[in-house]
A and B are shown apart, each in its own frame.
Chain A
Amino acid sequence: MKAFDLEQVRKDFPILSRAVNGKPLVYLDNAATAQKPACVIQALTNYYEHYNANIHRGIHTLSEEATSAYEAVRESIRDFIAAPCLRSVIFTRNATEAVNLVAHSWGRTNILPGDEIVLSAMEHHSNLVPWQLLASERGAKLVYLELTESGEIDLQQAASVIGARTKLVAVTMMSNVLGTIVPVAELAKLAHAAGALVLVDGAQGVPHLKTSVTELDCDFLVFSLHKMLGPTGVGVLWGRPELLEAMPPFLSGGDMIGSVWRDRVKFNELPYKFEAGTPNIADVIASGAAIDYLNRLGMDNVRAHEIELTKYALNRMKELDDALVYGPLDANKRGGVISFNFADVHPHDIGQILNESGIAIRAGHHCCQPLMRDLKVAGTARASFYIYNTKDEIDQFLEALQEADKVMGHVACR
């Protein structure tokens, strides 16, 4: 029995009925951003048509409705990541901003000269550059968790680099290039034993894996709603409340204050201390519809569907003689993200030829240039799956790859 009705799911996404270059769209760029179901789009228009108002402090009906819809999403998110309390769920613009919030606010008060920040070798620039800047500002050092041949974390090596000097371990939950699922809880055990904190970049993990901050045993978790069916412009920072309480504000201004005098200010309580200015009300509210949608499908079912697709795609890619696939080959150890290269065809050219068949993949460094250097490539082609993708689409993808090989190879073969 199907875990969820795939045909029905596809009907829920208006964009999936469009054509690209005369062919039905095959959207395999979900790691960059996911498509939006009709209910999310409706939540946006419904807000703007019926209860658009600024939130908090308003005493009129529209403001009350908008405030309670906005705050209800905070609760949905708390539940989605199994967080113990609501006040530690903070809305940001995206995962990147959430990392920056922690780097500025926690980092500047806690990172001292000589301290070490541990990152994996496959971090997205968003979970790398803020730490680089912080480290150079504070005289701290970045240390890397190296990857095994198959692109996995080597826990033994991790145990050797996480130590007394470590202040923070900042790792992705799932690699946006290799698909690797990172053993966060194991790393957290090492980090906590060394007295360090753990920040998890859940930009790829949270949309695809059932997530519990207590099971991850992390101290901070960041993610972006646009990668999980929500609109762009909404990210989340979850942090342990006692840490957030002790942290100074990141941005300041309206809404984040308790009281203001001419010469001083008392900050608002959590989570508002970190939500300065009018937030992205409409997109947060619509994000709630995205969370509800994923809950209706069930995250276990989402994962099962993606394992099935990934297994199928990895298997079929073996048919391509020249294709080199990166990352773990066991679909149970990875998310639905497949990066690959052909011996003699540049990823851009693959992407372009696939686009001709209406197939959207991504080509390039995927904001992971250090990893590209480790892999000794300028970039990779990447196909990434989500709830609405089908085996039939993977067949079309394979067919187009064979075509790409032909288009690009035909001079050489002559």
Chain B
Amino acid sequence: MSLADDLYRETILDHYHHPRNQGALEDATVKTEGVNPLCGDEVTLYLKVDSDAISDIKLEAHGCSINMASGSMMSEAVLGQSLEQAMSVAGVFKNMMLGGSQETALPEELEDLEALQGVRKYPVRIKCALLPWNTLLEAIETSRAKGEDHQE
């Protein structure tokens, strides 16, 4: 196996060179920052949440190929999803990355994410792949907390 098969698969490089949903979101309802203090990767995640669903998502990311690609794929995977669904996708992804050596088959709509499985062989890089997802989970939590405030 070579690095190009494991880590730098075409799908990953495509997302790295052409990251989707990049930039700031003017009318975001939540903005969450994530950093990886060890390597300095940074991501700012903007969500627009309408009636418990992600109606828009953007990221400002500065990181390595794995980090950028993971964030880009994530934005595609959760755009339009309910917060519940987005959390479940994040759960599936984290399981795939942290769940040992078994290859995980993902549902068709999450196929791109499978390309990141190779990263599991490079433990130090798993953190890079997880950063956008952990930031997403934090953003969802913040959004929900805000929602509860409003209801009170």
Contacts and interface: CB of A to CB of B under 8 A. Distances in A.
Query: Do A and B come from the same complex?
Result: yes
B40 A353 contact: no
B8 A407 contact: yes
B42 A378 contact: yes
A412 B63 contact: no
B10 to A, nearest CB: 6
Interface string A378-414: 1100000000000000000000000000011011100
B14 interface: yes
A411 B41 contact: no
Contacts of B62: 378
Contacts, number: 56
B3 A364 contact: no
Contact of B40 (A352, A372, A407, A408): A372
Contacts of B7: 352
A365 interface: yes
B4 A364 contact: no
A353 B39 CA distance: 16
A369 B40 contact: yes
27 contacts: A346-B63, A346-B68, A347-B64, A348-B39, A348-B63, A348-B64, A348-B65, A348-B125, A348-B128, A349-B65, A352-B3, A352-B7, A352-B122, A356-B3, A363-B39, A364-B39, A365-B40, A372-B40, A378-B40, A378-B62, A379-B39, A407-B3, A410-B13, A411-B10, A411-B13, A411-B16, A411-B17
Interface string B1-32: 01110011010011011000000000000000
B145 interface: no
A104 B17 CA distance: 48
A279 to B, nearest CB: 30
B14 A411 contact: yes
Interface in B80-137: 122, 125, 128
A378 to B, nearest CB: 5
Given A344-B17, A348-B39, 4 more contacts: A345-B65, A353-B3, A378-B42, A407-B4
Contacts of A345: 65
Interface string A336-371: 000000001111110011001000000111000100
Interface residues of B, number: 25
Nearest to A369: B40
A408 B69 CA distance: 13
B59 to A, nearest CB: 15
A32 to B, nearest CB: 14
A206 to B, nearest CB: 27
A197 to B, nearest CB: 32
A349 B122 CA distance: 12
Contacts of B40: 364-365, 369, 372, 378-379
B65 A346 contact: yes
Interface string B44-78: 00000000000000000011111110000000000
A293 to B, nearest CB: 32
Contacts of A412: 17
Contacts of B42: 378
Given A356-B3, A408-B8, A411-B13, A349 B38 contact: no
A349 B64 contact: yes
Interface in A273-325: none
A352 B42 CA distance: 19
A378 B41 contact: yes
A352 B125 contact: yes
A379 B122 CA distance: 20
A352 B4 CA distance: 11
With most chain A CB atoms within 10 A of its CB, the pick from B14, B42, B62, B64 is B64
Contacts of A344: 17
A372 B37 CA distance: 13
Contacts of A379: 39-40
A159 B63 CA distance: 38
Contacts of B2: 356
A414 to B, nearest CB: 10
A4 B53 CA distance: 69
Contacts of A363: 39
A408 B13 contact: yes
A369 B38 CA distance: 11
Given A378-B62, A410-B13, A364 B38 contact: yes
A379 B38 CA distance: 11
A379 B64 CA distance: 10
A257 B17 CA distance: 62
B67 to A, nearest CB: 8
B134 to A, nearest CB: 18
A378 B128 CA distance: 14
A356 B68 CA distance: 21
Contacts of A372: 40
Contacts of A348: 39, 63-66, 125, 128
Contacts of B128: 348
Contacts of A411: 10, 13-14, 16-17
